[in-house]
Structure 1
Amino acid sequence: MTAADLSRVETSELVGTGERRLSRALVLTIAFGAVLQALNASTMAVALVDIRDQFDAGAAASWMISGLYLATAVGSPTAGRLADLFGSRRVFLASLALTLVASAAAPLAPNLGWLIAFRVLLGIGTCAAFPAGVAMLRAEADRLGVELPTAALSVLAIGGQVMVAFGPVVGGVLVQYWGWRSIFLMNLPLAAVVIVMALVWLPRDRGVDKRASVWGRLDLVGAGLFAATVAVLMLFLLSLSERPQWWWLPVLAVVAAAFVAFELRAREPFVDVRMLAGNRALSGTYLRTALTYVAFYMVFFGFPMWLQSARGLPPGQVGLVVLPIALLAMASVAVAGRVLPRMGHWPVLVAGSAMLLAGGVGLILLDATAVVGALVAVAAVLGVPNGFNNIGNQSALYRQAAARDAGIAAGLFRTSQYVGANIAAAMIELCFAGPVSDPGLHRLGGVVAGISAVLLVGALVGLVVGRRFR
């Protein structure tokens, strides 16, 4: 579905039917707040080169990508539980306020370290709106005694997809004419408008248990150990691009072991380790999803960097060249959705992995002399597998997760995506290892192709085994 589809959604479809139904203003306000995360993630694809040049940064600039996704991985589930404790409207408004503060402060950052810190704050602010918004929709539907319309959730999903598609285009124009600071400043009017909408149209919080214990409901220690594990892994991987710091490996082992040990004892763990250990098929799906998103984000952020630095395209044109990646991803979701009921998730994953492999080979064949048509063609090939892989992995998740674990399993699915994004940021630095160049793009394409080949073999094995035991 596209933005045009969103505009054609009828009010009755959006909010339900009958006299009791969700307010359209409620749904759209939540959607406008939730899309800020996708918008801020995708605009960085065309701003990173300028930021790297501004601060004369090397591999450390990759934290502009991984910092936001690490904050999102920890902040999103935490925000959902905070919404239950303190009220979803309060958390929604607080997230927008934090977005305003981080966006106003980022352009004033005196060095890269401060800019990364403000980017992390921005990640926390923008990621909280979605879980708080969904909680608000469910609470309002329960209050009215109606089912939560699937179209209301579709609006949130469509909004995110549209922002991923057009974020690099918007960011490219902003960076080209007003510099990298403009991708932060654009949040100021957007967040301010959503705050006004929220104050006017979002219902006040009801039934909040003020006696509830924050420490009893939030696994803050587990979330902190999870973030530390991913951060240490990032530090080790980034060191490989310059001088390998092998001492990070024992630190990683200790932190990861502490994380697992604590989660095994936690009453409400941030990551349910027992569930993962007891369901190998589901754990395999998370691993496959993480690998898929390593490849996707390597393309989504690495390809625009090469287009700017090596191919010499201006940021605005870069946004247009990579636009087919997101547009065809949205189109392929619809195709995969129709194929899935008849063929199951394994054939869909085989097709997605094969197309991703073709896209990786396409990157290997490009160089700085390639015409724009060839660049767009490779971008189009790389866009197709995203819908197939995403739908295929989601379908596998719902088949493999027990009903009692559905909520936890869905949350970990998002977490595995963000872990993949963090690893991708480090892999981009390893591939380019200095000035962005054709050999770096070829190494990046080789890694994408290698990951795709592993995914393809795994999907083929799953397909054969699945048919044998039917």
Structure 2
Amino acid sequence: MSTGTTTAPPGAPARLPSRLVGSIAFGTLLQALNSSMIAVALVGIRTDFHAGADASWLVSALYLATAVGAPTMGRLADLIGPRRVFLAGLLLVAVASVAAPFAPTLGVLIGCRVLLGLGTAAQYPAGIAMVRMAAARGAPPGAGATGRAPRGVRAASALGILSVCSQTAVAFGPTLGGALVGGFGWQSIFLVNLPFVAIGAVCVGRWGPAGTPRATHRPAGAAALRRLDPAGLALFAATMTALMLFLLSLASAPRWWLLPVVLALGAALVGHELRAAEPFLDVRLLGRNRALTGTYLRTALTYVAFYAIFYGVPSWLEQGRGLSAAGAGLVVLPIAGLGVFMTLVATRLVRTRGPRLPLLFGSLGLLVGGVVLATVVHAATPVLALLAVSAVLGLPNGFNNMGNQTSMYAAAPADATGAASGLYRTSQYVGANLAAALIELLSAGVAPDTGLHRLGVAVAGIAAVLLLGSLRRRR
């Protein structure tokens, strides 16, 4: 029976319209930009609101909201359609971006960042779900009639484009934020979201695939809410919030009482989801699908190492090497810059060899980088040599990102791609907060060089575990 869509010729890889992939990528820039631009605005915000350490919640609030919001938005994308969720997320971003510059208190501004986190949490899982839907529906009408492969972007290349855009935004977010804050004040880092929102909404609204992964069954209203499993969602949100608060506290004053709270909430979540007819978090699937569960664990570990480098090295450059903030930023630029370039290489490798080889290269490169930090770098290391070290540290990023992202995409069920992509985002933020705690643990009370060398040993240890897992991983 005809479904009203066409498919690519037999044996030809599905290709996606470039304008669709570009539209999705444009929307996913928002999360990376808003995560990185805030770093250069904190001083001005502290001054205007006469705030101290409480201003750091502007960073933590976004991470918390995204960690909880990403799988929620992904699940909604699977139920009511990814294009709707993508556009709804852009609307939340627009509301938060307009309200934030007029916030009367720091608490209201933090609330705007929470809303911003929920909005930006929608773009990645909904975008990945749209990529899978478009790939499943095949080529545009008439493409298969000639027998030639349809023009456009392969699904693997689409994942690479999303990864490149995200890394580019992270790399240049502080630079863009610095220019905006210097010229127009901290309020401008919120208002700059509006052109991205407008362009993304118009493009995705026009070219994004309509419907749901199961086009014949799209619940609405109360039916969609029941299928979302609100009790499971509430337990998941409570568990993740307690976990993230505990991880964030490890960097300063550990709140150990949160640990039993996390365990109790987690046990309640698992118990409820095992009984639910349509669980928010399908724990049975995670138990059966070891490839998907393993990808989440590997991603969390990878991001512990990545953020340990991304945050730890600039701090050492200022405290141990004596560079200015601007100088430190220039020295670490190759970490993000090489990551962008290697993503392009990894994308081609994934298309021809699958994700295993990129993961091997990424783990090996991370191991070499950790050993270099632990043994070679010290306070007297010349700046040119530090630039070379940054390049070494940047090489594995593209391989690891593409390998993990492609593994998740391949292992996720077709009708649950949104939820699976949301949990992938959550695993990244868990890794980021573990990295913050790790940096504080290894650097507290010791000389800067000693702290950096300890960090290198930790990164090398994590990389060795990742390398062993990649070697044992089946193609």
For 1:125 and 1:388, locate their aligned partners in 2 and report how far apart those are by CA, in whole Å.
28
Aligned-partner Cα distance in 2 for 1:204–1:396: 23
Which one of the candidate residues 271, 278, 281 is aligned to 2:281? 271
Distance 2:229 2:452 in 1: 37
Amino acid in the other structure paired with 2:235:
L
1:229 equivalent in structure 2: 239
Q: Shift of residue 37 of structure 1?
A: 1.7
CA distance in 2, matches of 1:48, 1:357: 34
Of the structure 1 ranges 401-410 and 320-329, higher mean CA displacement relative to structure 2 is found in: 401-410
Give the alignment partner of residue 452 of structure 1, picking from 446, 457, 460: 460
Whether the 8 Å contact between 1:49 and 1:309 is mirrored in structure 2 is no
User: Could you say if the C-alpha distance between residues 310 and 222 of structure 1 is closer, same or farther in structure 2, counting changes exceeding 3 Å?
Assistant: farther
For 1:86-165, what aligned pairs fall within 5 Å after superposition? 88-109=82-103, 112-133=106-127, 142=137, 149-151=152-154, 153-154=158-159, 155-165=161-171
For 2:468, give the aligned amino acid. L
Are 1:170 and 2:176 counterparts? yes
What stretches of structure 2 of length at least 5 have no aligned partner?
Answer: 1-7, 10-14, 144-149
Aligned to 1:119, the other structure's residue is in SS state helix
For residues 127 and 468 of structure 2, the distance between their equivalents in structure 1, rounded to whole angstroms, comes to: 39
Q: Does 1:416 align with 2:427?
A: yes
User: 1: distance between equivalents of 2:164 and 2:473?
Assistant: 32
Task: Give the superposition deviation at 1:266.
Answer: 2.7
Superposition RMSD in Å: 4.4
2:121 is paired with a residue whose SS is: helix
In 2, distance between residues paired with 1:452 and 1:407?
Answer: 33
User: Is 122-131 or 393-402 further displaced after alignment?
Assistant: 393-402
Q: Which amino acid aligns with 1:417?
A: Q
Please identify which structure carries the higher helix content: 1
What CA deviation, in whole Å up to 9, does each residue of 1:109-164 have, x standing for no partner? Answer: 45554443322211111222344455556667859657895447354444334323
- The change in CA–CA distance for 1:395 and 1:30 in structure 2 (over 3 A counts) is closer
The C-alpha deviation readout for 1:166-218, integer Å capped at 9, x for no partner, is 2233234334555544322321343344445566x457967865466122221
CA distance in 2, matches of 1:340, 1:419: 26
Following TM superposition, by how much is the alpha carbon of 1:295 offset from its aligned partner in structure 2, in angstroms?
Answer: 1.6
Query: 228, 251, 262: which is aligned to 2:272?
Result: 262
What is the 5 A alignment of 1:1-80? 27-47=21-41, 57-58=52-53, 63-80=57-74
Contact 2:439/2:455 (<8 A) preserved: no
CA distance in 1, matches of 2:203, 2:432: 32
For residue 384 of structure 2, what is the aligned residue in structure 1? 373
Q: Label 1:128 to 1:342 Cα distance change in 2 as closer, same or farther (>3 A).
A: closer
Instruction: Give the drift of 1:97.
Output: 2.4
Q: Which residue of 1 aligns with 2:395?
A: 384
Kindly report which structure 2 residues correspond to 1:201-240, keeping only aligned pairs within 5 A, or say none. 201=206, 209-210=219-220, 213-240=223-250
CA deviation after TM superposition for structure 1 residue 292, in Å: 0.9
Distance in 2 (alpha carbons) for counterparts of 1:335 and 1:390:
12
**1:170–1:404 Cα change, 3 Å:** closer
Letter in 1 for 2:433: N
Q: 1:324 maps to what in 2?
A: 334
Deviation at 1:383, TM superposition (A): 0.8
Aligned equivalent of 1:13: none
Amino acid at match of 2:226: G
In 2: Cα distance, 1:304 partner to 1:44 partner? 16
Separation (CA, whole Å) in 2 of partners of 1:79 and 1:443: 39
Aligned to 1:249: 259
Matched, 1:185 2:191: yes
Contact between 1:72 and 1:124, CA under 8 Å: does it hold in 2?
yes
Deviation at 1:371, TM superposition (A): 4.8
Identity %: 53
CA-CA distance at 1:424 after TM superposition: 2.7
Q: 1:428 to 1:227 in 2, by over 3 A?
A: farther
Letter in structure 2 aligned against 1:274: R
Q: C-alpha distance in 1, partners of 2:56/2:305? A: 16
Aligned-pair CA distance for 1:34: 2.5
Using structure 1 for the length normalisation, give the TM-score: 0.75
1:37-70: CA deviation from partner (whole Å, max 9, x where unpaired): 2222233455557667876544x65544443233
Distance 1:211 1:453, change over 3 A: closer
Residue pair 2:132, 2:417 contacting (<8 A) in 1 also: no
Q: Shift of residue 397 of structure 1?
A: 5.2
Aligned counterparts of 1:428 and 1:63: Cα–Cα separation in 2: 19
The more displaced of 297-306 and 142-151 is: 142-151
TM-score norm. by structure 2 comes to 0.74
1:384 Cα shift? 1.0
Name the residue aligned to 1:8: none
Secondary structure at 2:277's aligned position in 1? coil
The answer to whether the Cα contact below 8 Å between 2:42 and 2:55 also exists between their aligned partners in 1 is yes
Mapped to 2, the partners of 1:426 and 1:111 lie a distance apart of: 29
Distance 1:172 1:433, change over 3 A: farther
Structure 1 unaligned spans of 5+: 1-15
What is the alpha-carbon distance in structure 1 between the residues aligned to residue 81 and residue 289 of structure 2?
33
State the SS of the aligned residue for 2:279. coil
In 2 relative to 1, CA 268–93 (structure 1 residues): closer, same or farther, beyond 3 Å?
same
Q: Distance in 1 between matches of 2:436 and 2:332?
A: 18
Secondary structure of the residue that 2:302 maps to in structure 1? helix
Tell me how far 1:257 sits from its aligned partner: 1.4
Matched with 1:5 is none
Give the Cα–Cα distance (whole angstroms) in 2 for the partners of residues 139 and 337 of structure 1: 20
Residues 299 and 344 of structure 1: is their aligned pair in 2 closer, same or farther, counting only changes over 3 Å? same
